[in-house]
Amino acid sequence: MARTPSARKARKTFSLSRDAVSYLEAVRKQTHRESISSVLEDIIRQQRQAKELERIGASFTDYYDSLTDEEVAEDRAWGEFALTQFPPED
């Protein structure tokens, strides 16, 4: 199976504490992974996703904090109107 250019791996050497290596090895075994590198890539991916969710959450907070009282009232009115447009649940 040919790798695309973006899927190529870069070989790096890192020094980690024995505890960190033990942890990574335990995670590798628990998740039935072939390599510690794949465990590290998952950890990095999860951290990136967490940071992106934080960024998105902060954007929502910034937006709503920037609304005037009039805009908040208008949004509330639209929300209340929208709720009247759904059929009642049984």
Sign of CA dihedral 61, 64, 66, 69: negative
Q: How many domains does the structure of the chain reveal?
A: 1
Note whether residue 63 is domain-resident. yes
Residue 78 lies in a domain: yes
Inside any domain, residue 58: yes
The string of pLDDT tens digits covering residues 7-52 is 788 999 999 999 999 999 999 999 999 999 999 999 999 999 999 9
Phi-psi category of residue 12: left, alpha or beta, with phi > 0 → left and psi -120 to 50 → alpha:
beta
Residue 6 is assigned to a structural domain of this protein: no
Q: How many residues does the chain have?
A: 90
Answer yes or no: is 71 within a domain. yes
Quote the tokens at residue 24: 């990574």
| pTM score over 0.75 | no
Q: Is residue 50 part of a domain?
A: yes
Residue 19 lies in a domain: no
Where does the pLDDT of residue 62 fall: very low under 50, low under 70, confident under 90, or very high at 90 and above?
very high
- Give the pLDDT band (50/70/90) at residue 90: confident
Instruction: Note whether residue 79 is domain-resident.
Output: yes
Domain boundaries, position 31: 27-83
For residue 9, the one-letter residue type is: K
